[in-house]
Structure 1
Amino acid sequence: MKPVKPKFVLINPWVYDFAALNLWSRPLGLLRTAEYLSQFDVDLHFIDCTDERRTARRFGTGKYSRQIIVKPDVLRGIPRNYARYGIPLDLFEKQFRACIPCDLILISSIMTYWYPGVQKVVEIAKRLSPGVPVVLGGIYATLFYQHAVENAGADYVFNGQVRNDPPERLKAVIERFGCRLNRKGPARPYYKLGLYRSYPFAPVQTSMGCPYRCSYCASSILNEGFLQRDPSLIVREIRELCHTGVRDFAFYDDALLVNADAHLKRMLKSIISSKMSVRFHCPNGIHARFIDDEMASLMKQAGFTTLRLSLETVDEDRQMKTGGKVTSEALQKAVGYLKKYGFRKENIGIYVMYGLPGQSFREVQESVNFVKGLGVRINLTEYSPLPETDCWNELKNKGIISESLDPLLTNNSVFSLLFSGYGPGRIEGLKLDVKHYNSQA
């Protein structure tokens, strides 16, 4: 075994993409890993390659710095600049050198098609700290496990999530590399570990998983079951962060409004009574069917500022086929409740998806027109295929994709361009139309 107090370096890689904005993005899985490890007598070092906002925007969001780089061969035909988003390479190397010698390197992975960022981190880590084991985890590592094993360069690929899996599993992985974990006390929240210099915003996750199984979504694959945390613990977490100066909070839940009477409504009533001055944001689409008069009122009083509601399509058959979580009528009612309590167009965005298997361009246009009629913002989102989902299996059965599909081609802007059949001109025209509509008061 290695020294009694091992040193671990936790790294969140760069974003490699055609475009990227920091819309309340934090590597929550890696932060939870740090929380778990904090109960042991270990020396934790943390590097987030995306922890740099070139231009600050409202509510803690911002633009990443970027460096245009050579596109991978499989993306050469895409007529857009490809870039690395985040801190400069030399700054990462400087930060990493300050962490060595170390005993183990743990790397996260988020979007499946950002894996070149993982490869770059592994390459640098192995060059600067040869012989030190590298463990890779996260969404890419779980959904494209075999690809990660063969291409990421890590010594071990952790398939699953630390919070969902038996805690001893990660401990066993770490100890197989000769690092002894001696427990010293209870785990500490990530925001008490000094991982970031500042918190322009903070992520909040009140639940893990989702009771729905939408045909395009991998939540049920990444998370076993649906588990909601104790509302009082979440309120305490928000209060503690608020006392440190954080005002903007982003919910990372996949099903924030489920079981609302016993969960979110209780939280919001407590937050309102405590008179905390905070703003809440929902970058993930929330379920319109659970927004009633009371929920809309509580959201407004508690400080909800950015709401994203899931619609995807107005086609009734596809609504049922993709999971049955929303109807156009339910969405219309939800928007009505929200407007009643003062939410405006700038606060409410509706996700409209295009490029789903078998989805016509006319269907997408009809969905856009429906949302325009509600007088709220439209958030166009391109379909991105994820392994083991129903949509993935449908595409595979039709011979459109194969199991060996390079994850780079699952990039939402790339996949829709290559496989939707709409043509780039129609897609760009639709985007311009939506941009013009959203800019209007």
Structure 2
Amino acid sequence: MDWAGAVSAAAFAAPYLLLAGWGVRRMALAGAAARRRVALACAAAWLGCAVWAAAVHANPWSGPGLFYHKDDASYDRWGREIAERWKQGERPALSRDSEIGTLHTGYYRFVAALYWLAGPSPRLAIALNMLACALLPAALYFLALDYAGPRAAAAACWMAALYPSFWHHSVFLMRDAWITLFFVAAAGVSLDIRARRESSRALEAGRWICLAGLCAQVFLLRYYLVVVLAAAWALYGLALVERKRRALALATLVALAAAALAARWTVPSIAHWQDRLVQSFLWAIPRDQHSLAAVARRFAAGAAKLFLAPLPWAASGGYSIDYFLWPGQWMLYLGGLPLGLWGLWSAARRGPPIGFVLMLPFFAAAYGFSVAYEGSVPRQRMFLDALLIVFAARAWAERAEGGAAPRGYFVAYYSLLGLFVAAHIASLFVRGIW
């Protein structure tokens, strides 16, 4: 047996075991009614994924393979290559020039571990992506429970379970379902630690170990999510701590920055790794945006496309896999977006302050996607939808507490949405697409 390969595969499997451990622990602490609700929602999400997978991959217009994008074919190709190198006793390095993969190598290794264990077929990896989608309602339940209470938790759980876009992005060989699950779980564990529930030191240490492992995995899958989550916690802490402790916190941040610079000057491999981080971020910034006005125009267009994406509304050339985005998009337009926007407004106006830890990643990522990609990120924004569901669930729960959005807000929203849809459909006819 290739013991070195087994150790490598086990190392990359460790965050998934930590994720399972946190979920089992939170389920054990929940009441019987909550456990039944979460289990039923997870089962509904799995059933939705299964039906969606059959519709996507078995319809008469689908292609002969299981790959529909450049990225899923890339994950399959590099997964096969890494698994083969593992079998030959080689250890391909992470994030090295002219080596396998890119900076975000976590999912390559996940696919490679599955190929190494069960053979080079993407079906097992897709099935596990569907499992990640099925677990997402549970992760959102516990995150919303710690943030906004049991009513919001129940609403978030079922919104996630019945959201077709989550099903859609989970039935391909893509990493977005796992990115979303790990990010939501990391945010949930951080709120769990803040809650300071009565427990032994061993359990408290276990929470911190779990948080470190989840953040490390998110870093490997999509590193900037960990950066913005850490920045949100740092700003939240600096805003609330006492003046003396604030000085200590600032000194700690300065010391960490100095240590990073010192490591850059003394350890060439760390300097190379830091360069790759910066390069990965700067690569996405458009080079033709030389003024604030140009950036503002791109942001306005990108924000509209990000949240009102017309991408699946029309496609030239016949059948497109993007048509499967329709149900989720319209569920977002008609329910998730108006409730989510009101929930964000309510969080900013009424608190509690801990909501900032979720709001900063949402707005930072939305701004980055709008400017860097002009909003054309139908699957990369999956974690944004997860955060939007948390705020939409908060708005839904406030209805029972007398804090519902006024009727005029919904009238204005649906009127503007109707005008946008009419204008977009008219433009499709003018451009000859329809």
Normalising to structure 1: TM-score of the pair?
0.28
Query: Which structure has more helix as a fraction of its residues?
Result: 2
Query: Which structure has more strand as a fraction of its residues?
Result: 1
Normalising to structure 2: TM-score of the pair?
0.29
